[in-house]
Structure 1
Amino acid sequence: MRHFFLLISCFLLPHTLVFGQVSTGKIRGTTHSADGKPVIAATILLKDTRYGASSEADGSYSLEAPEGRYTLVVQLLGLETQTLPIRVRAGETVTIPPLTLRETSRQLDDVVVTGQYEPQSMRQSVYQIRTIDRERIQLRGATNLIGVLNNELGIRFSNDLVLGTSDIQLMGMSGRNVKILLDGVPMVDRGDTRESLNQIDINTIERVEIVEGPMSVSYGTDALAGIINVITKKPGNERLLVTARIQEETAHTEYRPLTGKGVHNQNLGVTWQRKGWNAYVGGTHNGFGGWQGLSTTRAKDWHPKEQWLGNVKLGYRTDHFNIWYRLDALDETINAMDPVNINTNQARDQKYLTNRFTHQLQSDWKASEHLHINAILSYTDYSRKTQTTNIDLNTGRRTLSLGAGEQDLSLFDTRVFRATAQYKLSNTVSFQPGVDINLDAASGARILGSPSIHDYAFFVSSELKPTSVLTIRPGLRFIKNSVYDAPPVIPSLNAKLTLHKNADFRFAYARGFRSPALRELYFNFFDASHSIKGNPNLKAEYSNSFNGSLTWRFITSPALRLTSTVTGFYNDFHNLIDYGNDPANPGAMMMVNINRFKTTGGTLNHTLNARNIQVTLGFSHIGRYNSLTKNDTDLPEFVWSPEVNSNITYHLQKLDTKVSFFYKYTGKRPVYESVAGSDGTTTVHLAETAAYHWADFTINKSIVKSVTLNTGVKNLFNVTRLTNTSGDVERAHSTGGAVPLSYGRSYFLGLSFQWSN
């Protein structure tokens, strides 16, 4: 037996020595994108084996494999996959020629977070959500959010040139019914306009998510028309990232480099992360020299504006836990200059000074595979100051004006606490309970007393999947308001039905509720152009809303995707808050409840993604109704307005240049209004704001590895004012006369820098 084992050992030993030897070779190479930049974190693998690696910060990769013939696969989401046959020889190194990974139209569905239990693809969401990604923001050459959203269907903007502010309308509803969120935190505004859209640093934005229809169950008051959630950038894979941007733009034909006339934007940001810790600090300066327009005096049609925006973020994350603090700060100055009094050679000027500090502390904790907890704590400190001075042009001496209301300071602060828990009972049943606490306070000379409103809510929803093709999400919100007897419960119901592997149908019903804001209850604003009174007797608004959509993906091949979406909506509002005549003072306006207000309509969108071209084409038709026509059978219940938009981007691969054309036709906007006659009688009048065409043409070109040039023309049709037949010249925000839209055609040139390690 001993000799037998010795014989077996002698037989196996040579083979063991052979197999124990390292008979492997090495593979090395680099990857880069079409613009020559290194491709980081690309996956490099040998097909049908376990051997692989990832590309480093400089695009290089290296791996070992046994001797043999293989197929090398290099891939990264959003880029074309490269494959090539190779042969590995023992003890040798195979050097692969540099590989170029170009962009591809084969992309995953956009990942959305607004209203979701957790980030998920847009196709899986029960909500119909529109997204605007970072690339599109860059292609537009926009310096604020209005420059991005003005091309969207169903969205319109109006400008108040006296105050230098803008407001938004969504699907026929005013801005006070549109909730603006920054990473899920509500933005604070002084008046009923959503001027905060112009006070968000666009250079920090990753994408914008737009949800149409009431979101009152999840997000509470102000969300009757929908949600615009601005999502800021999150840390990537870079240890150190430095970004910078400078852009210069004309204001029609007015321009002076870097300062004064024109539009000037500069930004610098630095991101760092290591061992789970991450930090960001950045700042932006926006300068606008105003626009003279039709004015022949020292007063300008569009006021000069200067903004300083700062951002600081500090966070820590692990595989299961993420916590971060963010500060957004704004300092804004608007200069309004009046004409000179020819008798005294003096002029009256005003400055509108805005300061906003928004603090956020947010955390996510994945306690288990079944339980996920989110929490938000935020504090916003907002002030708006009006400073009026008189200047003697003979001596240049400037003194404070002592007129009533000409020196004013309004203070608003908001505290928000929001916490949700997502519990997955099974693959077919999930729950989301949550609490939402909002504490609002205000003070100032134009604010009656020092009022506050406290809103406490508990909400719960469930996502049910009784079959593989049906998802149902019912929800309830219970509210306790310190000022109003809120309805005992606010319900909503959303559903998504997969009709086909390429077709989805969505349906939603929601009960909306909005308690009057502090600005509507207690804010009084009187100056040369405004006469507004708050109304402490306002009732809360509520609505019933229905939405439906059908999405069909006609072509879903890797090289070509064609998708169409048709939507429809109907909103019926009660006690909608708007401006009305003050019975005690016919020359002033006050906030009142309109008995009935409705909107209805639909949209049709087509999206085409091919190898080098992206095309969208959309159409909407929106009808509005208010109670002024309620008792007059000769007038239609709805008045309608159409819109058409299209975006085209073509990528010239060899030049690494993207050429884009953005277009929108906004049809005339009719509305019935009551006009008071000199004899005290009131008549109903159909007013119309003229239609207009808007188009932008941009070129985005990569110059070197870290620098991109962006140039183009905005407002190609040179639209400045819209004719308007309104007879209303006495309201708080007078709609009589021409409606200001823009300062005309402009030309811009910008450079963006991005370096990472």
Structure 2
Amino acid sequence: MKAHTHIKNLIFALLFSNAFFAQDLLQVYNSKTDLPLGDVVVAYLDHSGKQEMAITSKNGYCQLLSMTYPVQVSLQHPAFKTLNDTLFEKGTYVFKLSPLQGELDEVVISGYLSEKRVSDAPREVIVISSEVIANTQARNLQEIMRVAPNLNVRADGTTGGSFAELLGIGGNNIKVLLDGVPLAGRTGQEFDISQVSLQNIERIEIIEGPMAVEYGSNAMAGVIHLISKKEKSDQAMISLDLSEETMHSEYSTTEGIHDHKMSAYLPISKNLQWDLGLGRRQWGDKQVISTGRLMDWDPRSQHMAFSNISFQKERLSILLNTSFLQDQLENDGAVTGVINPQAQDDEYLTKRFVNALTAKYALNKDVFQFRTSFNTYSRQKNTYINNFTGEPLLAIFDGAQDTSRIDALELRATWMRQISDKVQSTSGVEWRNEEAGGGRIAEGEALDREFSLFNASEFDLNFLTIRTGLRWSHSNRSGDALLPSLHLKKNLGKVTLRTGYAKGYRLPSLRELFFDFNDQNHRILGNPNLEPESSDYLFASATYRTGDELRSESSVRLYYSEFRDLIDFASSPTDPTIITLLNTESLKSKGIKIGQRLSTDKWDAMAQFNFISTQFAAEQNDWNNNVATSISLSYRFSDKLSASSNALIKGKNAQLINDITAGEDAVLVSIVDPYTLIDANVTYSIKKNLHITAGLRNLLNEQTVDATGGGVHGMEQKELIHYGRSAFLNIKWNFKINPHNKNEEL
């Protein structure tokens, strides 16, 4: 760091407080970058036994109250090595913390009010880091899921969506969060993960098993938590991210994939920062097995924007998040008739706004956080009759035009108390109000309210870490629910052992309760008498970390879960011509996951194997096995040149389908044949601020596989996998402007 910068910081330190001469002042730096380091926990104990705790500001500063010397201090940050020292007299102190570089230990926040290292968390967390996101060149949540073999991703060519499964179930049972805020978008029983952009995402945390204590309903199978980037600099920055990709051999201005994003970081003042960005992603159409006007991959365009305004001053931090998505898809129908040919074409327009205000205040041993969020989600469907002689006409039959809407308001307050250096407790209250409306809601407007109290406490007993959790929840439609959890962690040198139990639940969605849809071919009604789904989950795992120059992490995990009262479509017990929703099934799942990672300063290799077996308990049919393996390799040839490759190897995949034919319900098993997806790319840094990546997706050109005994939307027993081998080019350009109006490369 330049000398004038140190002088400036010293002057700032002298002016930092009117009570300077009565207090100690600490400033903490990152030893690698020489930049101030915020969010460092400073625990100190003076000669009289007085014990306090403080947190450094964005600029790395921290004031200590008057103490009796000598004072023992401990500086802790999840991403840095802990530093312990002793202060012998009042004054100003500067400390530098060393990053945990080279250690296979990520930082997580899911379920916590502050960051925590993976190795310290009693619950096992899978972290997809910013480096992995960059290596895969993933643009949305669907694409990055290839590196997580425990998640099964299904594509639906009719709706253009992609849906995830975890522990054998998916849809409403996987909760998707953005900086702790649940994303609305569950108009049916699925959540489209292709509508979640990775623009401005720093990392993704995946937790298997119920997270009901921390996040309530809809987290019965697990949580996917997206964490936004949080820039900390006094320099403004503009970034461009431009990607072009073929769809198999098709590419033009209207074919292929075009993904363009721009973002900016503006440090308005030393306490106030603003991140904002815009993006657009456009897909062309693609035929794989369809013919005529039918497309397996329909033309689609997405527009997205985000704004994050953050304020931090000493112990107080405030964050205002806003994000927007618009997704438009065109689905052309088949031509019918010979003399007067016509076709029925559908257009879908989805919009989602996410708004959240979060305030956090740290006071010695206490951290208080309050968050209010408002989500609005709408999906508009318009059906047109195209007679090929003029402009298409709006169809007038029942169900041809519809707009579904969901509004969700959530208030959440939490209090974390560091009771002692061995005991930490987090208590909270949460209130959620959800409204749904549209032409397919029987009551025209439906309302659901839920109130919850929860507590999660962690006890470090030296020989064992115990995390207990309990949530009481009351819903205006389903009554009370009591949801416990217990997790244990034991460190044995380089080996970490974990085990735990959690209970999960899912309240029926408003659409499931009040769905009302009638058209030429369907008569589907919701069921206001649905009961909540519930589950029990057990797991045990072991992780072994070793090495310095060659670092290794080996892990194995076993789990078992039971899901009860699962909601699915079935024939109405009173009228077989009506399809409704019932609590029809119980599902059991068990599995094992094995992982191995090796890393040096030059290269990183990771392999994960996942085996899961599922059984519909009510049918007592055979256990259905699914196997998946993911392999990731990256190598850095120099500071300018690097390469990476990712492979997802799927074994035979058994999908359980609730078949409704002739008024009789039956559970069918669809066996999807094995397939392998391989991507590879090379990145070259022309300058510090200009990076070019070129690569190939789906090297083996996998597009469809056979699905015996089932199929998706009647697609001739074929399961859509991918649009085919494609080539892509990505350019990232970052431009930083320093406070003295001198442009500077990153």
> Which TM-score band applies after superposition, normalised by the shorter structure?
0.7 to 0.9
Instruction: Report the 3-state secondary structure (helix = DSSP H, G, I; strand = E; otherwise coil) of the residue aligned with 1:643.
Output: strand
Specify whether residues 728 and 663 from structure 1 end up closer, same or farther in structure 2 by C-alpha distance, changes over 3 A only: closer
Task: Please give the alpha-carbon distance, in whole angstroms, between the structure 1 residues aligned to 2:711 and 2:245.
Answer: 35
Does the Cα contact within 8 Å between 1:178 and 1:228 map onto a contact in 2? yes
Task: Please give the alpha-carbon distance, in whole angstroms, between the structure 1 residues aligned to 2:140 and 2:511.
Answer: 25
Alignment of 1:282-293 (within 5 A): 282-293=277-288
How far apart are 1:117 and its partner, in Å?
4.1
Answer yes or no: is 1:519 the counterpart of 2:511: yes
Does the Cα contact within 8 Å between 2:255 and 2:283 map onto a contact in 1? yes
Instruction: Report the 3-state secondary structure (helix = DSSP H, G, I; strand = E; otherwise coil) of the residue aligned with 2:478.
Output: coil
How far apart are 1:483 and its partner, in Å?
0.2
Aligned to 2:589: 599
Q: Which runs of 5+ in 2 are unaligned?
A: 6-31, 37-77, 81-98, 739-746
Answer yes or no: is 1:147 the counterpart of 2:131: no
Answer yes or no: is 1:688 the counterpart of 2:671: yes
Answer yes or no: is 1:657 the counterpart of 2:653: no
Answer yes or no: is 1:138 the counterpart of 2:122: no
Does the Cα contact within 8 Å between 2:630 and 2:648 map onto a contact in 1? yes
Answer yes or no: is 1:615 the counterpart of 2:605: yes
Does the Cα contact within 8 Å between 2:568 and 2:658 map onto a contact in 1? no
Answer yes or no: is 1:357 the counterpart of 2:353: yes
Task: Please give the alpha-carbon distance, in whole angstroms, between the structure 2 residues aligned to 1:651 and 1:448.
Answer: 58
Aligned to 1:372: 367
Aligned to 2:305: 310
The equivalent position to 2:631 in structure 1, one of 629, 640, 646, is 646
Answer yes or no: is 1:556 the counterpart of 2:550: no
1:303 aligned partner, one-letter code: D
How far apart are 1:235 and its partner, in Å?
2.1
Specify whether residues 318 and 104 from structure 1 end up closer, same or farther in structure 2 by C-alpha distance, changes over 3 A only: closer
Aligned to 1:221: 217
2:416 aligned partner, one-letter code: Q
Answer yes or no: is 1:400 the counterpart of 2:391: no
Does the Cα contact within 8 Å between 1:268 and 1:282 map onto a contact in 2? yes
The equivalent position to 2:465 in structure 1, one of 468, 471, 478, is 471
Task: Please give the alpha-carbon distance, in whole angstroms, between the structure 2 residues aligned to 1:322 and 1:581.
Answer: 53
1:211 aligned partner, one-letter code: I
Task: Please give the alpha-carbon distance, in whole angstroms, between the structure 2 residues aligned to 1:624 and 1:360.
Answer: 38
Specify whether residues 698 and 349 from structure 1 end up closer, same or farther in structure 2 by C-alpha distance, changes over 3 A only: same
Aligned to 1:187: 183
How far apart are 1:628 and its partner, in Å?
4.6
Does the Cα contact within 8 Å between 2:473 and 2:480 map onto a contact in 1? yes
Instruction: Report the 3-state secondary structure (helix = DSSP H, G, I; strand = E; otherwise coil) of the residue aligned with 1:563.
Output: strand
How far apart are 1:640 and its partner, in Å?
1.2
Does the Cα contact within 8 Å between 1:248 and 1:264 map onto a contact in 2? yes
Measured on the aligned residues, the alpha-carbon RMSD in Å equals 2.6
How far apart are 1:109 and its partner, in Å?
2.2
Q: Which runs of 5+ in 1 are unaligned?
A: 1-24, 29-38, 44-76, 80-102
Aligned to 2:203: 207
With 157-166 and 120-129 compared, the bigger mean Cα shift is at 157-166
Answer yes or no: is 1:669 the counterpart of 2:653: yes
2:629 aligned partner, one-letter code: V
Task: Please give the alpha-carbon distance, in whole angstroms, between the structure 1 residues aligned to 2:386 and 2:669.
Answer: 43
The equivalent position to 1:703 in structure 2, one of 674, 686, 697, is 686
Task: Please give the alpha-carbon distance, in whole angstroms, between the structure 2 residues aligned to 1:179 and 1:375.
Answer: 20
Aligned to 1:6: none
Answer yes or no: is 1:162 the counterpart of 2:158: yes
Task: Please give the alpha-carbon distance, in whole angstroms, between the structure 2 residues aligned to 1:277 and 1:735.
Answer: 53
Answer yes or no: is 1:749 the counterpart of 2:729: yes
Instruction: Report the 3-state secondary structure (helix = DSSP H, G, I; strand = E; otherwise coil) of the residue aligned with 1:146.
Output: helix
Answer yes or no: is 1:247 the counterpart of 2:237: no
Across the two proteins, how many residue pairs are aligned to each other? 650
Specify whether residues 675 and 121 from structure 1 end up closer, same or farther in structure 2 by C-alpha distance, changes over 3 A only: closer
Specify whether residues 525 and 741 from structure 1 end up closer, same or farther in structure 2 by C-alpha distance, changes over 3 A only: farther
Specify whether residues 624 and 352 from structure 1 end up closer, same or farther in structure 2 by C-alpha distance, changes over 3 A only: same
Question: Percent identity over the alignment?
Answer: 28
Does the Cα contact within 8 Å between 2:157 and 2:297 map onto a contact in 1? yes
Task: Please give the alpha-carbon distance, in whole angstroms, between the structure 2 residues aligned to 1:582 and 1:740.
Answer: 31
1:21-76 superposed Cα distances (whole Å, 9 cap, x missing partner): xxxx9999xxxxxxxxxx95369xxxxxxxxxxxxxxxxxxxxxxxxxxxxxxxxx
How far apart are 1:754 and its partner, in Å?
1.1
The equivalent position to 1:625 in structure 2, one of 612, 615, 619, is 615
How far apart are 1:173 and its partner, in Å?
1.7
Task: Please give the alpha-carbon distance, in whole angstroms, between the structure 2 residues aligned to 1:673 and 1:270.
Answer: 46
How far apart are 1:122 and its partner, in Å?
1.0
2:723 aligned partner, one-letter code: Y
Aligned to 2:46: none
Task: Please give the alpha-carbon distance, in whole angstroms, between the structure 1 residues aligned to 2:447 and 2:667.
Answer: 37
Task: Please give the alpha-carbon distance, in whole angstroms, between the structure 2 residues aligned to 1:26 and 1:186.
Answer: 46
Task: Please give the alpha-carbon distance, in whole angstroms, between the structure 2 residues aligned to 1:173 and 1:677.
Answer: 23
How far apart are 1:670 and its partner, in Å?
2.2
How far apart are 1:584 and its partner, in Å?
4.7
Specify whether residues 640 and 584 from structure 1 end up closer, same or farther in structure 2 by C-alpha distance, changes over 3 A only: same
Task: Please give the alpha-carbon distance, in whole angstroms, between the structure 2 residues aligned to 1:27 and 1:310.
Answer: 39
Aligned to 1:46: none
Does the Cα contact within 8 Å between 1:338 and 1:347 map onto a contact in 2? yes
How far apart are 1:347 and its partner, in Å?
2.6
Aligned to 1:36: none
Does the Cα contact within 8 Å between 1:675 and 1:727 map onto a contact in 2? no
Instruction: Report the 3-state secondary structure (helix = DSSP H, G, I; strand = E; otherwise coil) of the residue aligned with 2:112.
Output: coil
1:617 aligned partner, one-letter code: A
Aligned to 1:9: none
2:425 aligned partner, one-letter code: F
Task: Please give the alpha-carbon distance, in whole angstroms, between the structure 2 residues aligned to 1:695 and 1:587.
Answer: 45
How far apart are 1:612 and its partner, in Å?
0.8
With 562-571 and 702-711 compared, the bigger mean Cα shift is at 702-711
Answer yes or no: is 1:544 the counterpart of 2:531: no
Task: Please give the alpha-carbon distance, in whole angstroms, between the structure 2 residues aligned to 1:211 and 1:704.
Answer: 38
Specify whether residues 404 and 373 from structure 1 end up closer, same or farther in structure 2 by C-alpha distance, changes over 3 A only: same
Instruction: Report the 3-state secondary structure (helix = DSSP H, G, I; strand = E; otherwise coil) of the residue aligned with 2:147.
Output: coil
Instruction: Report the 3-state secondary structure (helix = DSSP H, G, I; strand = E; otherwise coil) of the residue aligned with 1:668.
Output: strand
How far apart are 1:737 and its partner, in Å?
2.1
Does the Cα contact within 8 Å between 1:605 and 1:618 map onto a contact in 2? yes
1:300 aligned partner, one-letter code: M
With 569-578 and 720-729 compared, the bigger mean Cα shift is at 720-729
Task: Please give the alpha-carbon distance, in whole angstroms, between the structure 1 residues aligned to 2:477 and 2:660.
Answer: 33
Task: Please give the alpha-carbon distance, in whole angstroms, between the structure 2 residues aligned to 1:712 and 1:531.
Answer: 47
How far apart are 1:682 and its partner, in Å?
6.5
Does the Cα contact within 8 Å between 1:154 and 1:172 map onto a contact in 2? no
How far apart are 1:163 and its partner, in Å?
1.8
Task: Please give the alpha-carbon distance, in whole angstroms, between the structure 2 residues aligned to 1:420 and 1:228.
Answer: 21
Does the Cα contact within 8 Å between 1:338 and 1:349 map onto a contact in 2? yes
Task: Please give the alpha-carbon distance, in whole angstroms, between the structure 1 residues aligned to 2:691 and 2:356.
Answer: 32
Does the Cα contact within 8 Å between 1:105 and 1:610 map onto a contact in 2? no
Aligned to 1:508: 500
Aligned to 1:50: none
Aligned to 1:490: 483
Does the Cα contact within 8 Å between 2:570 and 2:665 map onto a contact in 1? no
Task: Please give the alpha-carbon distance, in whole angstroms, between the structure 2 residues aligned to 1:644 and 1:734.
Answer: 28
1:744 aligned partner, one-letter code: G
Task: Please give the alpha-carbon distance, in whole angstroms, between the structure 2 residues aligned to 1:539 and 1:376.
Answer: 29
Aligned to 2:41: none
2:450 aligned partner, one-letter code: D
With 427-436 and 515-524 compared, the bigger mean Cα shift is at 515-524
Instruction: Report the 3-state secondary structure (helix = DSSP H, G, I; strand = E; otherwise coil) of the residue aligned with 1:147.
Output: helix
Instruction: Report the 3-state secondary structure (helix = DSSP H, G, I; strand = E; otherwise coil) of the residue aligned with 1:150.
Output: helix
Does the Cα contact within 8 Å between 1:325 and 1:362 map onto a contact in 2? yes
Does the Cα contact within 8 Å between 1:354 and 1:385 map onto a contact in 2? yes
Determine which structure has more spread, i.e. the larger CA radius of gyration. 1
Aligned to 2:386: 391
Provide TM-score, normalisation by structure 2: 0.83
Task: Please give the alpha-carbon distance, in whole angstroms, between the structure 1 residues aligned to 2:327 and 2:694.
Answer: 26
How far apart are 1:719 and its partner, in Å?
1.5
Task: Please give the alpha-carbon distance, in whole angstroms, between the structure 2 residues aligned to 1:456 and 1:184.
Answer: 18
Task: Please give the alpha-carbon distance, in whole angstroms, between the structure 2 residues aligned to 1:397 and 1:408.
Answer: 21
